[in-house]
Structure 1
Amino acid sequence: MTVSVRSRATAPVARRATGAFAALTAAALLVTGCGADDAKSGDAGKPAAGGTDFRTVKDATGRAVQVPAQPKRIVTLTQEDLDAVLALGIKPVGITNGQGLSEPPAYLKDKVQGISVVGNLLQPVMDKVIQAKPDLILAGDMQDEQVLKQLREITPATLVTMAPTDDWKLSLRGVGNAVNKLADANKVIGEYEAGAKAAGEKLGKNKGAEVSIVRWNPEGPSWMERKQFASGVALDMGLKRPKVQDKEGNAHTPALSLEKISEIDGRWLFLSTLTSDGEKALMDVQAKPAYKELGAVKAGHVVGVNGSVWSTRGGPLAAQVVREDITKALTK
C-alpha cells in the first residue's frame, strides 16, 4: 500500500494543516460587509491602506479581513496566487520566486517583467515587501504566524488564500473574491473546463489514454494522486490514470525504490524534476534495465515536462500549460 506524503507541490509537510484549519478552505472568502461603517476593532477590522472604500472578507483560516474594494498594489507570496491574479487581468507590484527556483516561474516570465521580487516562495523579505507598498498581500497557504504578524503590520489586508487541501479552482475563486473579481474567476474556470474537455476530444487514438504523472526526486520517483494539480487537468481532459495510481488524494507517493519502479509505468509517462539532484538521479536510472523495461519507455512514450508547473498546486495559467503539453505529446 502506498502512503501519501505532503510537499509544497501539493500540501507541504512544513505547513500541513491541523485541526479546524484543514477544514477551512478558500470557499470561506465570502464578503461579509462593505464600507467604513463596518470596521471592527483589531488588525482584521482596520480599513486597508488607501482609503475607506473597503470590503470585509474571510480568508481560508476563517479570519475576517478588511480589504480594499479595488486593490491597486497587490503582493503575492506564492506561484499559485501570482498565477491567479494574472489570469484575472491584474498585475501585482511584488512577487516571489517560483517553486524550487531562484527566479520567477518561467511560464509566467513574459507577464512579470519589471515586477519586484520580494523573496522566495513563502519566504518574503520584509524590507522588500515594505518597499512594494502593498494595499493587499495574498499569502497563499502561509501558516507561520510570526511571518503573518509581520505582514499584517505592513498591511492588515493580508490574507491566507488557500488551505493545503484546496484545489486550484477553489483557490482561484477565493482570490477572485478577495480582489472583487469573483465573476471573472468563475468565467476563467468555465472557459478552462470547456477547453480541457474539447482538447481531450481531439486526441484521436489517444482519447481517454492512460497517463502516468511522475516527479523524479534525488531518492527516486513519486507518482501523483488523482486530485494533484496536473493529474486533475488530465482527468478534466478525459484521460485515465494507471490503476495503481488511481488513488484519491492531492499529494504524491514517497520516493519509490528501483524495485517498485513498475508503479510509474503507463501508456504515457509524463516525467518531471524540480532540482539538479533530481535531474542527475533521473539520468543515472535511465541506463538501468528496470527503467528500460517500462512499457512507456519501450513505446517511446516518455514526455519530459516542467516540474515547476506540473508539480505545483497550480492555477489557470499553469493548467493551460499542462493541457498544451499533453495535447502536443498525444497528437504528435
Structure 2
Amino acid sequence: MSPLRRAGGLFAAVLAALTVAACGSSSSTDTSAAPAASQPASSAAAPATREVKDATGTLIKVPAEPKRVVTLTQEDLDAALALGVTPVGITNGQGIDTPPAYLADKIQGIPVVGNLLQPVIDKVVEVQPDLILAGDMQDQQILDQLRKITPATVVTMAPTDDWKLSFMGIANTLNKLDAAKQVLADYDAKIAEAKARVKPAEVSIVRWNPQGPSWMEKRQFASFVATDLGLTRPKAQDKDGTAHSMPLSLEALADIDGDWLFLSTLTADGEKALDEVKKTPAFKELKAVKDDHVVSVDGSVWSTRGAPLAAQVVLDDLVKALAG
C-alpha cells in the first residue's frame, strides 16, 4: 500500500483496534429488558446501539444497524456508497454547488441538505437521520445543533488521516468493517492489475488556483493512489505531507514539470487563470507540455480527502493516460 507500507504497522494496529471495538460493541449494546406484565404487549424494544470512538477520540453511541444516514462530506458519501449504504441526505461536493458528479448514478433522488460541511439544519431535521457522518467538521456550534437532532453525530476524519484510515473509521461507525476490508482488498487487486499495464513514470499532480499552481504533497489522496501504482514524483514534489504547496509564481513553474502533468481546477477563476498561463512561454517550455503529456482531471475528485470510489476514478485517469 505504498507510503502506507512505511506506516503499515500503524495502519494494522488501528485496523485491529477498530475491529476489537466492533467485536466488543455487543457488551455495550443497549438491550431492553423484557416488558413488565403491566406494559402493553405492543411496547417495542429500543433499537440496539454500539459505542464507537470518533476521530476526535470521543465515545459516541450509534445505532447498531443505522437506517437513516446523513453524510456531510463527499468522502463520507463515497465511503457509505462503497459499503452498500445509501444515505437519506447528502451535501454538495468539493468546490461545487451540486452533488459530486462522479457519484451521480448512485445518488439520484437523495435530498441535498446543504453544502460541504455546511448543513442547513432544517433540511437535516426533515430527513430524520439516526446517524450523521460529519467528516472533519470542526465547528462546535454546528456539531451541537446536529447532536440535538441525533446524538449519533460522528466526526469521521482527523486532519492527518489518509483516505484508507478515514474509510475504516467510517466503516466502523456504520458497523461494516468486514465489507470495508473487502473493498480495500479489491482496490489492491485493481492496483496490481494496473501495474502490469503502466510503465514507470514521474507524475506531477497539480491544482491550479487563481493565485497560481499548487502541487500535491505525497500523502495527499491522489498522490497516494499514484504511489500505490508505483509512480514517482518530481524532485520538488517529493515532500511527505497531506496538503498542497503554496501557489507558485511563473518563475517557479519548473517545480510542476515531470514526465506527465495531471492538472485540475476547482473554480471558474482557477480555470481562467490556467487558460491565461497556457499562453505563456514559461508554460510552453515545460517538458510535459512539449511531449503532449498534460492531462486535465476533475479537481472535485483529485483534490478531495479521498474514498474508495474516488480512488477508482483517479486510478482510471492514471491508467488511461499512462497505458494509453
Matched positions, count: 294
Question: Are 1:272 and 2:267 matched, yes or no?
Answer: no
Question: Which structure 2 residues correspond to residues 135-214 of structure 1 after superposition, within 5 A?
Answer: 135-203=130-198, 207-214=199-206
Shift of 1:55: 0.6
Q: Is the 8 A contact 2:70 2:89 kept in 1?
A: yes
Shift of 1:194: 2.0
Aligned to 2:240: 248
Ranked by relative contact order (alpha carbons within 8 Å, sequence separation 6 or more), the top structure is: 1
Runs of 4 or more consecutive aligned structure 1 residues displaced over 4 Å after TM superposition: 25-29
Unpaired runs of at least 5, structure 2: 1-13, 33-44
Cα separation, 1, equivalents of 2:72 and 2:117: 5
1:319 is aligned, of 305, 311, 321, to: 311
1:259 is aligned, of 251, 267, 277, to: 251
SS at match of 2:218: coil
Using the size of structure 1 for normalisation, the TM-score is 0.86
Deviations 1:268-292 (A, max 9, x none): 0000000000000000000000000
Identity across matched positions, percent: 65
Aligned to 2:124: 129
Shift of 1:187: 1.1
Aligned to 1:61: 56
Shift of 1:65: 0.7
Shift of 1:74: 0.1
RMSD over aligned Cα, in angstroms? 1.6
Cα separation, 1, equivalents of 2:211 and 2:46: 52
Using the size of structure 2 for normalisation, the TM-score is 0.88
Deviations 1:13-43 (A, max 9, x none): xxxxxxxxxxxx99976345432269xxxxx
One-letter amino acid of the counterpart of residue 238, structure 2: D
Q: Is the 8 A contact 1:27 1:170 kept in 2?
A: no
Cα separation, 1, equivalents of 2:178 and 2:108: 27
- Structure with max Cα Rg: 2
One-letter amino acid of the counterpart of residue 249, structure 2: S
Q: Is the 8 A contact 1:35 1:52 kept in 2?
A: no
Q: Is the 8 A contact 1:27 1:60 kept in 2?
A: no
Unpaired runs of at least 5, structure 1: 1-24, 39-49
Q: Is the 8 A contact 2:31 2:46 kept in 1?
A: no
SS at match of 1:116: coil
One-letter amino acid of the counterpart of residue 205, structure 2: I
Aligned to 1:35: 29
